[in-house]
Amino acid sequence: VVIGAGKAWCAGADMEVLHDIGAGTAKKAKRNTGVTQTIQIRKPIIAAINGPVAGVGFCMAAWTDIRFAVSSAKFTAAFAKRGLVAEHGISYILPKLIGVSNAMDVLMSSRVFLADEAKDMGFLSKVYPDTITLYTETIAYARTMARHCSPASLDAIKSQVYQDLNTPLEDSEKNAKQLMAKSFKHPDMKEGVQSYVEKRDPNFEGLKFGRIANVKLPPRRPRT
């Protein structure tokens, strides 16, 4: 769960740094490519947006897996108002989250909009009336997921969703069938079914037994 440390979730880049870049006086820094790397993390990343989200902060929120926010949270891409472009892969992921027309509106106008509109667009999953409720409900949601869902399944599903964003249906279905066959051999599948039959909470072993994608299947017998 990613929560803003102050009143803002992430208010964007330091304007003094941007000024120095424009003036040619900024110190050379290593290129930051970490914003989009969240899709490589095996765990679900949930944003609990407690305040303003702007610029690179908007990109960071878009690259989390699930987004909740307080109703007073404000959102803006801001790039066009600063003479910048759609940064950090936002032009790739945002149309997939809220549609092309909404993405064009948000990016090109750089207007400010509130959480309720962000939810209507599909950018947010839930909106809460205050930060205490946001924190409480988001942590409860994460704990419920951690308690009842297989980490191996969560890892596989997250990989499937991002991988299939640009995958033809036939290839997606083929990959899903292969993963399903592998999941039948993974200990978490046995525990998931057994816990349901015994009417108890599951005791998943996490990724102790490896990723579902790495399960080795026996070779197919040749047809006769």
Helix axes 151-163, 169-183, angle to 10 degrees: 170
Whether 70 and 127 have beta carbons less than 8 Å apart is answered as: yes
Average pLDDT over residues 3-18: 68
Please state, in angstroms and as integers, the Cα–Cα distance from residue 18 to each residue in 4, 36, 110, 216, following that order: 22, 21, 17, 50
Mean confidence (pLDDT) of the chain: 87
Question: Residue 19's pLDDT is what?
Answer: 34
Q: Is it the case that residue 16 has pLDDT exceeding 70?
A: no
**Highest mean pLDDT: which range of 56-60, 132-136, 162-166, 177-181:** 132-136
Least confident of 14-28, 62-76, 97-111, 172-186: 14-28
Yes or no: say if 81 and 13 are a contact pair by the CB < 8 Å rule: no
Confidence of residue 222 (pLDDT cuts 50, 70, 90): low
What pLDDT score was predicted for residue 18?
Answer: 38
pLDDT in tens, 147-192: 999 999 999 999 999 999 989 999 999 999 999 999 999 999 999 9
pTM across the whole model: 0.83
Which pLDDT band holds residue 218 (cuts at 50, 70, 90)?
Answer: confident
User: Is the distance from CB of 40 to CB of 84 less than 8 angstroms?
Assistant: no
pLDDT in tens, 115-129: 999 999 999 999 999
